[in-house]
Amino acid sequence: MGLQPTASNTALLLQCGRPFSKDVEIEREPPGEAANYGSALHYYLANKGTPAEACAKYNVPGCEQEIIRHGEQVRVALDAWLASSDLTSGEGLEPLIIEREKSYAVSLSRDCEGNADYDVRGETAFEEDTHTYPSLHPFQIAGTVDLLITVRRARLYQTVRIVGDYKTGQYGTFHKPAAIPQMQSLALMTGAAHALIIHCPRNAPVTIFCEPITLFVKDKETLLRALERVDDGSLRPGPACQYCPAKRSCPAFMSDVVKETNSLMRVATGAAPLTDPRDKGALHMFLTRFAALEKRARELLRSDVEAGEVIQRPDGKILTMIDKVYSNLSQASIRRALPGQAGEDMIKTLRDAGCIDEGVRTEMHAK
């Protein structure tokens, strides 16, 4: 079962229809701690539960106080923006209607002249456990809105909708929210005329960007054509491939792996050092992919060995499962065992006693 067409994967849908085909296998990597923290913050900001419930749901123990502080920081920044923006302040303004965490879907079709249009738009069901929209039909695209603000100016008989999204990642191009495919889809679903990004990364100031978003016929045509490409057997590599959960079975991805493996072997054997900076950049990208491929390959081998298969290496050694006793102490394990202030006090005691190694190290990252 392939991906569902949703707002969050609009960029991938516009590039390539293959991941959305019904016969394509999807493999999702488990979210890391940063992603889990972002989900917990979203949950809290949507008023779905207490900070403790948010941290427990998304497995970020010991972060309750941080979630409270972070959530308050976001709310203060948003309130300040609402009070100062020309869109949401001034005379003749009726009370704002602010909706949080609602899911919508829109159906796209062609009129009698063959032009793209939408005919159904409204709320839809969302299953958080499976992260799917169970009632989504072909040629529909769905999405969950973090924030939907309806502004009514009584004197002008004008109603304006602003669709907003919280972004907790450290990096991203958020200063032009109307250019983000996800926001374009959300605007189409909700009838919003403005796109709002609340950039609220961890341990950093909150920044808010808002701009008008215009939905031309061309945008609907592009989106409908993308939906029509699903299940036609075509694929198109591009920038969104790095986020594709179906790339491991993709022919284009496998050809890149073969090419980049050859580069890696050239470097490893010293046969032909890389001189072109583009080849070096491609090699760095491959190292990231290789780590994921290595993990998956080891998992497959492990499952075969545990199932009783005898696997012998070329050097004559046979793969065997061996139990090893280990112990591990980390700040995360302390917070799990001692929630709240008790955990923070224990970490401080260990730090004061010199039991926690701390320092600065220089790492290579791609930005």
Contacting residues for 251 by C-beta, under 8 A, at least 6 apart:
235
In this prediction, residues 57-75 reach a mean pLDDT of 94
Lowest mean pLDDT across 66-70, 106-110, 143-147, 151-155: 151-155
Q: How far apart are CA 129 and CA 84, in angstroms?
A: 38
pLDDT band at 260 (very low <50, low <70, confident <90, very high): low
Of 249, 252, 228, which Cα lies nearest the Cα of 239?
A: 252
Q: Provide φ and ψ at 288, rounded to 5°.
A: -65, -45
Query: How much is the pLDDT for 156?
Result: 61
Asked if 15 contacts 239 with a C-beta cutoff of 8 angstroms, the reply is yes
Asked if 256 contacts 264 with a C-beta cutoff of 8 angstroms, the reply is no
Query: How much is the pLDDT for 160?
Result: 87
Question: Structure pTM?
Answer: 0.71
Q: What percent of the chain has pLDDT over 70?
A: 88
pLDDT band at 16 (very low <50, low <70, confident <90, very high): very high
Map tokens 């079709």 to a residue. 109
Region label for 354, one of left (φ > 0), alpha (ψ between -120 and 50) or beta (otherwise): left
The reply to whether 282 and 196 lie within a common domain is no
Query: How much is the pLDDT for 30?
Result: 81
Asked if 5 contacts 227 with a C-beta cutoff of 8 angstroms, the reply is yes
Whether the pLDDT of residue 65 is over 70: the answer is: yes
Report if residue 292 sits inside a domain.
Answer: yes
Lowest mean pLDDT across 2-16, 83-97, 226-240, 331-345: 83-97
The reply to whether 184 and 285 lie within a common domain is no
Whether the pLDDT of residue 61 is over 70: the answer is: yes
Q: How far apart are CA 76 and CA 69, in angstroms?
A: 11
The reply to whether 248 and 107 lie within a common domain is no
Query: How much is the pLDDT for 11?
Result: 93
pLDDT band at 270 (very low <50, low <70, confident <90, very high): low
Q: How far apart are CA 187 and CA 182, in angstroms?
A: 9
Point out the domain boundary residue: 179, 198, 229: 229
Query: How much is the pLDDT for 296?
Result: 73
The reply to whether 63 and 156 lie within a common domain is yes
Report if residue 177 sits inside a domain.
Answer: yes
Q: How far apart are CA 159 and CA 299, in angstroms?
A: 55
Q: Which amino acid is at 259?
A: K
Whether the pLDDT of residue 216 is over 60: the answer is: no
The reply to whether 262 and 219 lie within a common domain is no
- Tens of pLDDT, residues 110-153: 888 888 877 778 899 999 888 899 999 889 999 999 999 998 87
The reply to whether 126 and 104 lie within a common domain is yes
The pairs formed by 56-61 with CB atoms below 8 angstroms and a separation of 24 or more are 60/33, 60/36, 61/332, 61/335, 61/336, 61/339, 61/343
Point out the domain boundary residue: 229, 249, 266: 229
> Quick one: which H or E segment has residue 224?
helix 217-229
Q: How far apart are CA 165 and CA 218, in angstroms?
A: 24
Radius of gyration (C-alpha) of the chain in whole angstroms: 25
In this prediction, residues 242-248 reach a mean pLDDT of 84
Lowest mean pLDDT across 186-190, 231-235, 274-278, 298-302: 274-278
Angstrom distances, CA of residue 319 to CA of 142, 297, 307, 311, 360: 46, 14, 12, 6, 39
Whether the pLDDT of residue 224 is over 60: the answer is: yes
Report if residue 236 sits inside a domain.
Answer: no
pLDDT band at 58 (very low <50, low <70, confident <90, very high): very high
Q: How far apart are CA 251 and CA 263, in angstroms?
A: 19
Asked if 161 contacts 143 with a C-beta cutoff of 8 angstroms, the reply is no
- Whole-number mean pLDDT of the chain? 85
The reply to whether 38 and 106 lie within a common domain is yes
Whether the pLDDT of residue 354 is over 60: the answer is: yes
DSSP code per residue over 102-157 = EEEEEEEEE-TTS-EEEEEEEE---BTTTTB-TT--TTEEEEEEEEEEEEEETTTT
Point out the domain boundary residue: 229, 254, 285: 229
Query: How much is the pLDDT for 258?
Result: 58
Q: How far apart are CA 119 and CA 89, in angstroms?
A: 33
**Token representation of residue 364:** 């290579």
Of 238, 219, 269, 254, which Cα lies nearest the Cα of 117?
A: 219
Q: What percent of the chain has pLDDT over 90?
A: 42
In this prediction, residues 330-336 reach a mean pLDDT of 86
The reply to whether 295 and 329 lie within a common domain is no
Domain containing residue 117: 7-229
Query: How much is the pLDDT for 268?
Result: 60
Query: How much is the pLDDT for 27?
Result: 83
The reply to whether 208 and 333 lie within a common domain is no
Whether the pLDDT of residue 300 is over 90: the answer is: no
Q: How many domains does the chain have?
A: 3
pLDDT band at 250 (very low <50, low <70, confident <90, very high): confident
